[in-house]
C-alpha cells in the first residue's frame, strides 16, 4: 500500500442514468476494471465519499438553480440543458459527486495522504452558478476550492484544467477572485466557446485566470511545451497552498468529441509535471477530479497512466518538447504577453 495516494469511488456514481449518451456509467466501469486488472487498486487508499450538503452546493450555486434540479428529478428527470439529460436519481448522485471532491480535499488536509484522484460523475467544470450545462450538474472542483477557502482558510488555490473543453463554469465562479488561480488549456475554437487569451479575470481576480487556447491536433509535446512555458513559471510565482486538477481525457487522440492528439501516457506526463508543482509549492497536496473522456478504452488507459505517475517515487525523464510547430510557439508568445504584466516569472 502506498501511504500517500488515494482513490475516491462509489458504486452509486453508476446510478446517474443518462441513457444513450457519451457521459455514461460505463465510463467508470471501464476505468475500475482497468485499474483492477493492472493490480493498482491494492496500492491505493480507497476513500468512500458522502453526499455534499445543500449548504456546500450553495458555496457556488444559486438556490433557484438547485431547486430546479430537484424539481426536474422529482418529475422523473428530463433535460437540464440540450446536452445534459438527468434521471430521478441524478440530483442525489450529483451531491455525491461534489461530496467525493470534498472528502478528497478533507482527507489531504487532515491526513497524511497527498495525491487523491476522485473518480466522480456527473462531471462539473461547465456548471455555472445558476445553470448546469455540458453534461455537468454541480461544479465539483469549484465547490471543493470554496470549501478549502472556508473551512481551512487556504488563500492560494491553483486549479489546472486539462479537459479538452474550456471549464467556463470554474472560470466564471472565480473570475473576480484572487485566491483561486484558474489555468485551462483547451481546444479552441470548440465547445463551450469561451477561454480566449484575453479572459484574464476582473477586479481583484484580474491576472488570476490563465487561458491557453490550443489548435486541433495538438500533441503530447505541444501540451508539455505550454505546461513548461506557461503553467510552471506562473505557478512558481503564485505558490499555491493546494493544487486541484480538472482531469478530462477527451483530448485523447481516440476521443470521439474532440480533435486533439494526446496519448494515454501523455496524460501521465501532465500529472507528473503538476505533481512536481505541488511538491515544490505545497508539500504535494493535490486532488484530481474526473471531468470528460468518452472513448472507454482510452479513458481507462489514461486514468491508469495518471495513477502510475502518482505512485512512482522516482524521477522519470520528462518527454522533451521537441519539434514544436511555429504557430504553437507564436500562441505561447501571445499568452506570455497577456500574462507578463501579472507574473514576473513569465519572461
Nearer to Zn ion, 253 or 338 (CB): 253
Binding of residue 248 to Zn ion (CB under 5 A): yes
With respect to Zn ion, which residue has the nearer C-beta, 108 or 303?
303
For Zn ion, which residue of 147, 165, 186, 252 counts as binding (CB under 5 A)?
A: 165
Helix or strand (DSSP H, E) at 98: helix 90-110
For residue 280, cis peptide bond before it (omega within 30 degrees of 0): no
Helices (H) and strands (E) in the chain, counts: 11, 10
CB of 192 to Zn ion, least distance (A): 10
Tell me how far, at minimum, the Cβ of 165 lies from Zn ion, in Å.
Answer: 4
Of the pair 191, 342, the CB lying nearest Zn ion is at 191
User: Which residue, judged by CB position, is nearest to Zn ion in the bound state?
Assistant: 292
Does residue number 292 form part of the binding site for Zn ion (CB under 5 A)? yes
Of 22 and 325, which CB lies nearer to Zn ion in the complex structure? 22
51 sits near Zn ion (criterion: CB under 5 A):
no
Please report how close the Cβ of residue 164 comes to Zn ion at its closest, in angstroms. Answer: 5
Interaction between residue 250 and Zn ion (CB under 5 A): yes
Q: Which DSSP letter does residue 320 get?
A: P
Q: Which stretch binds Zn ion (CB under 5 A): 146-154, 158-166, 182-190, 279-287?
A: 158-166
Cis-peptide, bond into residue 189, ω within 30° of zero: yes
Number of residues located near Zn ion, criterion CB under 5 A = 5
**Residues 6+ away with beta carbon under 8 Å from 308:** 40, 268
Judged by CB under 5 A, the stretch of 95-103, 104-112, 243-251, 295-303 that binds Zn ion is 243-251
The secondary structure of 183-230 as a DSSP string is EEEEESS-TT----TT----GGGTT-EEEEEE-TT-BHHHHHHHIIII
Residue 103 engages Zn ion in binding (rule: CB under 5 A): no
Residue from 107, 105, 343, 79 nearest 233 by CA: 343
- Active site (catalytic) residues: 126
Q: Which of 23, 146, 161, 163 is in the footprint of Zn ion by CB under 5 A?
A: 163
Contact 157, 179 (CB under 8 A): yes
User: Strand pairing partners for 5?
Assistant: 115
**Interacting residue ranges for Zn ion, rule: CB under 5 A:** 163, 165, 248, 250, 292
Amino acid at each position: 500500500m502506498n501511504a500517500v495516494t488515494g482513490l475516491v469511488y462509489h458504486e452509486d456514481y453508476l446510478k446517474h442514468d443518462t441513457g444513450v449518451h457519451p457521459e455514461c456509467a460505463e465510463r467508470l466501469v471501464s476505468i475500475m476494471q482497468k485499474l483492477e486488472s493492472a493490480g493498482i487498486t491494492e496500492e491505493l487508499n480507497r476513500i468512500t465519499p458522502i453526499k455534499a450538503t445543500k449548504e456546500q452546493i450553495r458555496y457556488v450555486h444559486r438556490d433557484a438553480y438547485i431547486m430546479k434540479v430537484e424539481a426536474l428529478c422529482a418529475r422523473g428527470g428530463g433535460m437540464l440543458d440540450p446536452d445534459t439529460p438527468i434521471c430521478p436519481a441524478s440530483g442525489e448522485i450529483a451531491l455525491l459527486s461534489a461530496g467525493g471532491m470534498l472528502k478528497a480535499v478533507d482527507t489531504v488536509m487532515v491526513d497524511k495522504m497527498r495525491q487523491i484522484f476522485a473518480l466522480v460523475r456527473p462531471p462539473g467544470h461547465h456548471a455555472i452558478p445558476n445553470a448546469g450545462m455540458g453534461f455537468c450538474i454541480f461544479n465539483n472542483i469549484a465547490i471543493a476550492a470554496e470549501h478549502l477557502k472556508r473551512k481551512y482558510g487556504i488563500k492560494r488555490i491553483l486549479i489546472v484544467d486539462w479537459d479538452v473543453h474550456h471549464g467556463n463554469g470554474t472560470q466564471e465562479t472565480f473570475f473576480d477572485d484572487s485566491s483561486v488561480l484558474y489555468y485551462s488549456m483547451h481546444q479552441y475554437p470548440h465547445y463551450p466557446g469561451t477561454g480566449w487569451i484575453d479572459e484574464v479575470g476582473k477586479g481583484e481576480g484580474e491576472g488570476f485566470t490563465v487561458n491557453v487556447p490550443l489548435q486541433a491536433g495538438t500533441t503530447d509535446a505541444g501540451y508539455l511545451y505550454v505546461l513548461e512555458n506557461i503553467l510552471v513559471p506562473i505557478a512558481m510565482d503564485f505558490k499555491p497552498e493546494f493544487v486541484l486538477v480538472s482531469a478530462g481525457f477527451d483530448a485523447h487522440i481516440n476521443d470521439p468529441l474532440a480533435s486533439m492528439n494526446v496519448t494515454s501516457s501523455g496524460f501521465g506526463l501532465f500529472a507528473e509535471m503538476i505533481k512536481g508543482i505541488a511538491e515544490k509549492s505545497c508539500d504535494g497536496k493535490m486532488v484530481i477530479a474526473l471531468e470528460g473522456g468518452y472513448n472507454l478504452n482510452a479513458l481507462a488507459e489514461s486514468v491508469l497512466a495518471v495513477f502510475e505517475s502518482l505512485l512512482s517515487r522516482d524521477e522519470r525523464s520528462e518527454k522533451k518538447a521537441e519539434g514544436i510547430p511555429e504557430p504553437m510557439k507564436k500562441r505561447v508568445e501571445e499568452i506570455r504577453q497577456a500574462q507578463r504584466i501579472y507574473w514576473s516569472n513569465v519572461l
